[in-house]
Every structure is written in C-alpha cells, then in structure tokens.
Structure 1
C-alpha cells in the first residue's frame, strides 16, 4: 500500500440507509466467489473468479476514493489534497482491471495467441461491466477500438497507482489466478469454436461472442448481486444461488399459462404451431439454435417454452 496514503480506507460502496461502507477488498472477494460459482456451470470457474476479483480494481485509485467519499459525505484527512470530482462526473474504474488481466494473460500460449485471446475476452467483460453491454471491438471503419481501451494512458486508468494501493490479499489472489491453468481451462471451448472445419469466420466469431457474453453475464450478475445484498442485507437469506432449479415447476406454470390462450383467429393457430414446433425441438441435443419469426408470431413465449423444456431435458 502507498506509504503516503496508508490510512485511507478503500471503499467500494456506501449504504444509503446508514452510510455503512463496504471495502473494495470485501466487494472484490465476495463478487469473485459468486462469479466463480456461476461460471463453474461451464467449468470456467477460474475465469469467473478472476473476473470478479479484478472488475473494480480501479476503485483503488485516490481519485475514485475522493469521489465516493465526497458523494457519501465521508471524511478522510488523507484525501483532502485530492481534487474533488464535479457531481455527475464518471470516474473510470473498470479499465485498470481490464488492462491488468489482459497484460497478465497474454503472456501464456503466445505461439497460438490463445493467452491474448483469453485476456481480450476477460478484459472486455471487465471494461464493459458498467455499460449497456460489451463495448465494441471494432469501429465501422475496422479500427481496433478494444485495443485503444486496453492501451489507455495510465494517467486516466490509474493502473500503477491501484496496483500500489491494492490490498496484498487481492493482488496475491489475482496473481495466483492469472496463470496458464486459467488459459488452459478455456482451451476446450475455444478449440471447439476455432477448429470447426466447415465454419467461416463469421460463425466462429459468433460463437466467440456467445462465450464472452456468458462470462460477461456471470460478472454482471455477481457484481449486482453482491452490491444489492450489501445495500439490503436481509436479501441474502432469500437467495438460492446454489439450489438446483426445479424446471418441472417452471414448465407446469408456463404450460398452464399457455393453455389459457384461445384459438379465435388464424394468427392464434399460427402462434400455436410455432410454439408446438419449439416444444418438439426442445428434445434436440444441446447447441445454439435460431428462431426467425415475424413480429407478432409469439417468439417470446415460444422460445421460453423451448428453453424450460430443453433445460429440463439436459439438466
């Protein structure tokens, strides 16, 4: 920890009700545990754990700490010399973790570029976790936008400062995770995508996007669950994160709902046929399928019907 700022308590969140604080380290470790569990469903627990651990690494910057202390009305004399951030201004606290993960992972599997690909995928998840979705990798002109983000100046991302200020337990855990074992854990799904002999680049990129979005969703859920549970601690007792889903219960409720739809017009019969087709296809092997139906064709409920029945079949 920076000797000049050793007395700063690095805060991730403040609770509105009583101004209690959640430390950055606590949030990172708790979000990491949730992301690890979620990503573990596809045997990608190491990737999920690292994503959760590094997603808010940028909150170790004094600029962010000044921002959150001012916003919550907290006082810390060690932050008095830091310039206040105008209300409404956003502090970039996601790029630092993205840069750290990318730079550490790209060292592995250099010959085939797998480490860099894994670093890019995980880095994109971290860099995007406060936006509306994954950031664009390319501009309309084909410019590598993602690389610009990962090469953003340290004066803007504060990566060096965050690395200096971060809790030793966080840094050690990150170092232990960002290794060849993590890269190898992604080799199987990546090889299945990249070595498809009959697939063109667009199809392979589509599958890579799906895999990245899965990891992104694990991070988003972990971050929001932990943040919400800190704000309302009583919610923790309601969560069933480790409980196996009762798909049959969901199926029964959905089928009861669908049975209430009457066939009064030709469009109703068309919707029913589409829904029944999705039901039949739910017995197909696990894979990625598309449903192309015009507006008004009942895609939402038909695809939901497929999803719950297919999940019950493959669970």
Structure 2
C-alpha cells in the first residue's frame, strides 16, 4: 500500500510479466513472481560451476524493464514498442558501481546476458544503436520504484573465490575466460526464462510439459552392466580382438584420473569408439559427472555412432542432434513489431541438451559455444560438468584452432568438463612437443594424459595397409584401375569430381557402382552404406566413389583404395578404410595416392599436400609413423602461425583495463566451421520425412520438434543455387506464416536422383562444387 493525497493508503499497481486471459488479470503472471522464479532456476543451472549468485542476479534483473508503465500498457493491448531488456542491465551496473572491482566486472558480464536475453548477446561497441554501450548510454529510468521492494538483489561476491582460483593469477587469457563466463550465464538466463514462461502457459492452458530427463548418475548402474555384457559378447579369437580388449582395459583404468584434458590415440581398427564410451561411463561414475557428449565431425557417421550407443546402452535416453535447421530469432520476429514475449515464445522449441547422453556434430558443439543467438546458446549450461569426447579430433578446422583450443581449455579449468581428443591421427595440440620442444601455440596441458597404451606400438601393430604415391591419374585412368577389381574405394576432394567420375565409370560399364557424397541426405547415405557393407561382406561387386566424408570413422572395409592428394591426416584416415579388419595380407592392401590434374584441390588442401610431402621426405616416405604425423602437424602449425585464428576471434574478446570489450555478435558470425556459403534444402526422401513436412501447418507442433525429425533429410547447397531453385518453384518455404523461412522443402522430386542425390545442373553451381566435400 502507498499513501494517497488525503493521507489514506492506496493500492500499489500490480505489475505483470506475461498476459493471460484478455481483460482479466487474475490469471496473468506477476512480474515479481517471474523474476524471482527465473532467478532461482538460473541459479540452480549455474550451481555446477559455482556462479549461482551471478545467475540469480541475471534472473532478477532480466525483465526489470517491465516495471515501466508503458510496458504494462503494451501487455493490455496498446500498439507500442517498449525496450524492456536494457533497464535491468543499466540499473545493475549502477548498483554495482560502489562494489569491489570484481563485482563491477561481473555486473558488466551479467549485463551482456540481460541485454541479449531476447535478441542475442550484443557487441560492446559498434556503430549500431543495438550495441551494449549505446543501449546503456541511452537508457532513461522510467521504472516504478516499486521494484526495489519487490525484489531483493544481493550483488556482493558475484565472482566466488573458487572461480577466481580456477582463472588463475597472471592468466593472459583472462579476457577469454570471462567471455565464456558471460556465455554460460547467458545460457542459464535464457533457459530459465524460457522454462518459467513455458511452465506458466502450460498451467494456464492445462497442458502437460515433460522436459525432464533422468540423471546420468541414476542410469550408470544399468549402463555399465549393459556395456560389460556387450563387450563380453564380442568375439575373442584372432590377433585383433585380444588387442582391442587390452586397449579397452587400459583406457578404462585411466577413468580414475582427475577430470580434465585427455588424448586417446588409437589407430583405426583398435576399437576407440567403444573404448572411449567405456572410459566415459567409468569416469562419470568416479567423479559424478553429469553428461556424456560425443561430438563427431560429419553427419555421415552420427547415425553409425548413435546406433552403436543405442545397441550398447539402449536408445531411450540418447539424444541425437545434428540439425542444420536452426531457430532464427531474426526470422521469428520478421513481420512482427517486437520479439515475442508471451505465448509466441513457446513456439521456439530450442534444444537444451539436458539428455544424459548426447551425440552431436563438431559444428553444433563449437558453433553453440561461440554463438550469440539464444537458440544455440541455451544449451551451454548443460555442457558444464560433462565428458566431451571429440571423435576424429584432427578434423577441427585449422583456421579456428586457436579459439577452439582456448575454449576446450576454459571448459576444463572453469566448468568442470573432461575432454577426450579421440583419434588415430592426434593433432598435436599439447603446449609441449613430444621432443620437449615447443608445441601448439597456447596449447593444452596434455602431459601424462594419454589414455591409450603405447600409441607408437599400436600404430605399428594395427597397420593394415601400405600407402604409395602414384602420380597423376585422370578419370579414365581411375576407371581403368577399378575395372579388374570388383571391390574398390576412390576418395576425391569435391562433390563435382565424385559425380563426374561416377558418371564416367557408369558409362564405361562398371558394375556395383556406388556414389556417396553430401549431395545425398544423411538418411539416404545411411542406406547406401548399409548396402555397401552387405556387398563387401558377401563378396559382391562394390566400387564406391566418395568424398572425404567416408574417411573419418565410417565402418567400411575395402581391399584397395585410391585417394586424391590431401593432407597427411586425411590420407591416413583413408588408409583406415583399407583392410580395416586385417583379413588380407598387408602387401596386397594398397592405398594409392594420386594427383587429379583436372580437379585442382582447394587452396587449403594444396598447402596441406605440400606439408605432407615435406613430412614424407623427412621420414623416408613412411607416412604412417607417429613421428611422421608429428612432423606433418609441426609443418602445418609453423606455416599457418597466426592463421590458426584467421578471423581474430581471441582478440575480439578482450578487457580494456577493467572494462569488458566483447564482440559477441562479430565472433558468432566469424566462427563458422563450415566456411562455404551453403543453405539447407529438405528432401522428403521417405515416409518419415513426408509426415514431418505434413505436420508443418499444425501450429501446435513446435518447430524444434519437426526440425529434429527432419535433421537427417537435409542437403546443403550453395546459397545462390537455392535461390534459383526457389525462384523456379523447385524449392519452397513451407508454411512461411507460421515457420518463417526455416523449412525450405524440395518440391520437384525428380531433381533428387536416387543414385547421386540432389542435382542442380548449371555450370555456375557445379563450379562452386569444387570446394565442397
């Protein structure tokens, strides 16, 4: 109550966060209720990394601007635009001004999250009025001071001692660390805000919302029992199976080591996928870690890995996430006066990675960690306290290696993550070289953290093929080489080369031809690979022409392989598809490395070829030793130097004195693991895809749910090619009124060839294909 002019008390106006029944405020969500509940939920999300007080402050202040009477008018239907996200950031910084230097710094960091909780994390300084500095500078306080009585913020000790110790005295990457703290607080806030809003409307509309996943700790007894049963049932005869069991036992023994950074260097055929899963289960049990995240370089092997995990652990609680269809805030608010703040928000079914086991792509993982958008960043707080297995770690893009390595280091030191760099061709990311010399610039502390037994000995014992350089080979020469061999694999550097070689081989009358590239959607490729494996096993003709997507972890076993010139790591991975199971003599299992004069490799591949040649020359032509591998990576890192952070991402996250200067949006635009200007086309390839597309008109079905169903039915095409397909009516955005431009669906089905995939047959776009694998 407040005193009126006549001295009598009068009712204080009620303030609301979200509207309910129009004209009847009895079922509306009170603003203090929303702020306090969101703060509590955000704090719970941040407990695992010790920043619950900062997360609570973000929740309390995020919608403070709704204490503006103008915003309350908007809730009742007034056609006005009100910025409700700036007030909390500006006032929080004012209140923290007299605190300790760390509290002032943390108030700034929390303010990024508050400013961005609808439109995404802002940059500190730009020419745009939407930047952090301009928004706070223009802020005028028109809030009802009632908020001071209705919420009670405590802004002391926002950066606890534990986190200060983890950051470390004299850490020259403190700015990067603080930027990651801002991202994780942002994640806690947007997820808590979303879930509290969702819960309010679910109650209002008498709907059930089931977003709870079981904790990994509760599942571990069953998971470990299943894993042990599965491993006990595998074959035990021969030379290879006992070696795989020895590797597994050694790797699992390392699970007792303290959480942090590890390498797992096991050649192809050594069983590293199951060994890494066994380590993760044991390590989670030993240290109470919350989640297993398995990140894979290509969508082509996500299905394969997820299938293995489901077979071993059961499939009920495994999340498979590799969608190229993302919620886009800009698209969501296109045609609206403001970003949706009430019921519309419930349509944004953003993935939060709360499942106990997540199988995803490197693109999803790393681009989320560097994202500015709420939809991608929302999952980050669930990454804390997780075991992250980076399968085929050598595939991390070299031009982003420095920021990626910095992120891995920060996740391990500040957010309680264990990270396993899992590969046959370890990318030498340690700060110290094997010979005691200089390692990767600002590298990881990997000393004594190898999980595999005797990587050098394993490289020798598990060698299944020999590699030879054969000079130039035209398509005609490749066709002639395949002709006498009923089973052969050819790997080239572009989709165009693969398509043209396949067509020439078909015209030449070769049977058993198989074409495999990203022209095909993942669901189609899964069937192609299953058929190829059956042919190989049954001794039938199988001449497979593919791009490099087949190299990293795809389980196929060919007697002969041809590989277009590429980097050392790619050639070695290609060798892993030759005599994979060791059933043939080593001398007969040949990987022929050839130059393709009619298909010059992309510039980056060209330089890697030169690095490979230098490494080979230094090691007597034996490409498969660990020494050759380290020599190759040394060549690459020395040559690339500053281009290991070509986009200047680390330098865009800095401190100017005691003031933050984080360019979050600029970084998000630049951190692109797939560089080509590509857009998604959804192919209704089978009944499942057709049903998902048919669900698009039903507004009650969230976009995120449909996107997850369609994630294996996507083909990435050059942006200009998709524009032309749309203009000609071959592709259309389905249900644009409800879904915006999120779902571009192929309508002309005969453009999707059952043998080769999606075709757009103009010379201009085929020329773009030279750099696309």
The reply to whether TM is greater than 0.5 is: yes
SS in 2 for 1:147: helix
1:85: which partner in 2? 79
Give the whole-Å Cα distance in 1 for the aligned partners of 2:20 and 2:131. Answer: 36
Aligned residues: 262
2:147: which partner in 1? 166
Kindly indicate whether the alpha-carbon contact (under 8 Å) linking 2:122 and 2:130 is maintained by their aligned counterparts in 1. Answer: no
Q: CA deviation at 1:100?
A: 1.5
Is 1:33 the counterpart of 2:40? The answer is yes
Q: 1:218 to 1:272 in 2, by over 3 A?
A: farther
1:120: which partner in 2? 108
1:77: which partner in 2? none
Kindly indicate whether the alpha-carbon contact (under 8 Å) linking 1:35 and 1:52 is maintained by their aligned counterparts in 2. Answer: yes
CA RMSD of aligned residues (A): 4.7
Is 1:47 the counterpart of 2:54? The answer is yes
Kindly indicate whether the alpha-carbon contact (under 8 Å) linking 1:37 and 1:45 is maintained by their aligned counterparts in 2. Answer: yes
1:95: which partner in 2? 86
Q: CA deviation at 1:125?
A: 0.9
- Structure 1 unaligned blocks of 5 or more: 71-83, 155-159, 260-268
Alignment match of 1:149 (pick from 135, 157, 160): 135
| TM-score normalised by structure 2 residue count | 0.29
- Structure 2 unaligned blocks of 5 or more: 232-266, 307-356, 361-382, 389-415, 419-773
Is 1:21 the counterpart of 2:21? The answer is no
Q: 1:277 to 1:241 in 2, by over 3 A?
A: closer
Structure in which a larger fraction of residues adopt strand: 2
Q: CA deviation at 1:61?
A: 0.3
Is 1:226 the counterpart of 2:196? The answer is yes
Is 1:8 the counterpart of 2:2? The answer is no
Q: CA deviation at 1:237?
A: 8.1
Kindly indicate whether the alpha-carbon contact (under 8 Å) linking 2:54 and 2:106 is maintained by their aligned counterparts in 1. Answer: no
Q: CA deviation at 1:145?
A: 3.9
Q: 1:246 to 1:194 in 2, by over 3 A?
A: same
Q: 1:114 to 1:221 in 2, by over 3 A?
A: same
Give the whole-Å Cα distance in 2 for the aligned partners of 1:99 and 1:3. Answer: 30
Q: 1:241 to 1:298 in 2, by over 3 A?
A: closer
Post-superposition Cα deviations, 1:240-272, rounded to whole Å, max 9, x if no partner, equal 5997753538968x98xxx9xxxxxxxxx9799
1:310: which partner in 2? 387
Kindly indicate whether the alpha-carbon contact (under 8 Å) linking 2:65 and 2:84 is maintained by their aligned counterparts in 1. Answer: yes
Is 1:248 the counterpart of 2:236? The answer is no
Give the whole-Å Cα distance in 2 for the aligned partners of 1:298 and 1:3. Answer: 70
2:162: which partner in 1? 188
Give the whole-Å Cα distance in 2 for the aligned partners of 1:144 and 1:195. Answer: 34
Q: 1:38 to 1:250 in 2, by over 3 A?
A: farther
Higher relative contact order (CA 8 A, sep 6+): 1
SS in 2 for 1:161: coil
SS in 2 for 1:12: strand
SS in 1 for 2:17: strand
Structure in which a larger fraction of residues adopt helix: 1
2:73: which partner in 1? 66
SS in 2 for 1:183: coil
Give the whole-Å Cα distance in 2 for the aligned partners of 1:35 and 1:225. Answer: 10
Post-superposition Cα deviations, 1:139-161, rounded to whole Å, max 9, x if no partner, equal 399x994222222230xxxxx33
Q: 1:33 to 1:12 in 2, by over 3 A?
A: same
Give the whole-Å Cα distance in 2 for the aligned partners of 1:33 and 1:271. Answer: 48
2:121: which partner in 1? 134
Q: CA deviation at 1:292?
A: 9.6
Pairing 1:104-119 to 2, within 5 Å after superposition:
104-109=95-100, 113-119=101-107
